[in-house]
Amino acid sequence: MANYDLIIKNGTIVTADSTVQGDIAIKDGKIIEVSVGKSIEATADREINADGLHILPGLIDTHVHFNEPGRTEWEGLETGSRSLAAGGVTTFFDMPLNSTPPTINKANLELKSSAANEKSIVNPRFWGGLVPENIDDLKDLHENGVIGFKAFMSPSGIADFNNVDDETIYKGMKEIASLGSLLAVHAESTVITDQLAQEKQSQGKTTARDFVESRPIISEIEAVRRVISYAEATGCKLHIVHASSRKVVQVINEAKQRGVDVTVETCPHYLSLTVKDLEEKKALAKCAPPLRDQDEVEDLWAAVANGEINVIASDHSPAPASMKTITDNFFEGWGGISGAQSTLNIMLTEGHFKRNLPLEKIVELTATNPAKLFGLSTKGDIAVNYDADLAIVDLNESFELKKEDLYYRHQHSPYVGMTFKGKVKTTIVGGQVVFENGQPIKK
């Protein structure tokens, strides 16, 4: 009998702390040995030669919308998880909405988790929702394993997932604090965005720029300031998702410095796309908060490099192409960007190669920090006793992303046509290969 299930030889192992040359031995889904500078002389059922390749902890995408059950025609756990495997992502946290029923009580959570156990080829975890109707369900959801709760301060666009009023935020955060959990918030001010959208549309101003100006950075800042006040009043841990600008991040950092327990996510699209892309790619590049201008993109990269951002997540929010048509009114057409397969590609191409962001920093933002923040104590690092969740990447290989390369249910993304440097060759989840030779492995 072989000593190990799998040995990965001669790879360049990247963690949040270091980049070293070495071998990794895996058994029963766990990393058993990491040998630096010396090869592991043992037998294994399988050996992967990673000479010339980089091995990263598999990415943990803390923000996806896979829409199953109930809206599987938008994405689904099978197609969604296959696209993640192709992108080197080994764990995802599915948002409570866009699936129907939404994850706002235990029964709905069970529907989703059983579908995920059946269909997902990477590790699934789930957010619970906080809506005005479900304060009494939060404890049950927490006890049944949700990684945290998500609320919208502005309308979600989904009829069965209501946004929270201030009373719900207060009561919800008190309850979530008592559970020792965390609240993630979509923070935009409805008052500001509604007024501006009405003004624009009543004047017939419906261009991409008009849409973006109807959801200004100050609307994010207003909502972030308000929810931070509630975090201070209740002691609830707070996580701001998809900050689109460093100006938003600065408000969060001021709160951190006063001792508020608050963290912040940004997304690859805010780091790689601008209003110009929205003008050209239309609904494929429409999201809320919207894309900003190039100076904002550069400022956000500076925030990333400076340690001001805690987590990079995709906010993969897919929909059928038929919902993504915009003729000349940018207030029409469904918002949400399909991008989960490309997170690592963007961080490598736009971050590492274009802006000298260290590989260790990319690992920290996409794997180590998410694991720490959400208490996944055996993930996010390449070390003995950690789960064997790995992405093996060729940093010398460049490719142009084609529609046919996408494993989403609907093969569209604003990133199609971009040239990326750094290609995922193999993805491993719990010691099992789930992607190789350009193909996800069927469950």
The binding site for Zn ion (CB under 5 A) comprises 315
Q: Toward Zn ion, which CB reaches closer, 308 or 315?
A: 315
- How far, in Å, are 58, 217, 219, 293, 301 from residue 212 at the CA level? 34, 9, 11, 10, 20
Q: Toward Zn ion, which CB reaches closer, 290 or 422?
A: 290
Q: How far is the CB of 259 from Zn ion (least distance, A)?
A: 28
Q: Toward Zn ion, which CB reaches closer, 53 or 183?
A: 183
Nearest residue to Zn ion, using CB? 315
Q: How far is the CB of 95 from Zn ion (least distance, A)?
A: 5
Q: Dihedral of the CA atoms 63, 69, 75, 76 (nearest 10)?
A: 90
Q: Toward Zn ion, which CB reaches closer, 168 or 314?
A: 314
Q: How far is the CB of 45 from Zn ion (least distance, A)?
A: 40
Q: How far is the CB of 413 from Zn ion (least distance, A)?
A: 16
Q: How far is the CB of 211 from Zn ion (least distance, A)?
A: 18
What are the residues facing 64 on neighbouring strands? Answer: 94, 316
Q: How far apart are CA 240 and CA 150, in angstroms?
A: 10
Q: How far is the CB of 150 from Zn ion (least distance, A)?
A: 8
Q: Toward Zn ion, which CB reaches closer, 338 or 427?
A: 338
Q: Toward Zn ion, which CB reaches closer, 75 or 315?
A: 315
Q: How far is the CB of 263 from Zn ion (least distance, A)?
A: 16
Q: How far is the CB of 98 from Zn ion (least distance, A)?
A: 8
Q: How far is the CB of 63 from Zn ion (least distance, A)?
A: 6
Cα R_g (the chain), whole angstroms? 21
Q: Toward Zn ion, which CB reaches closer, 96 or 422?
A: 96
Q: Toward Zn ion, which CB reaches closer, 311 or 382?
A: 311
Q: Toward Zn ion, which CB reaches closer, 156 or 206?
A: 156
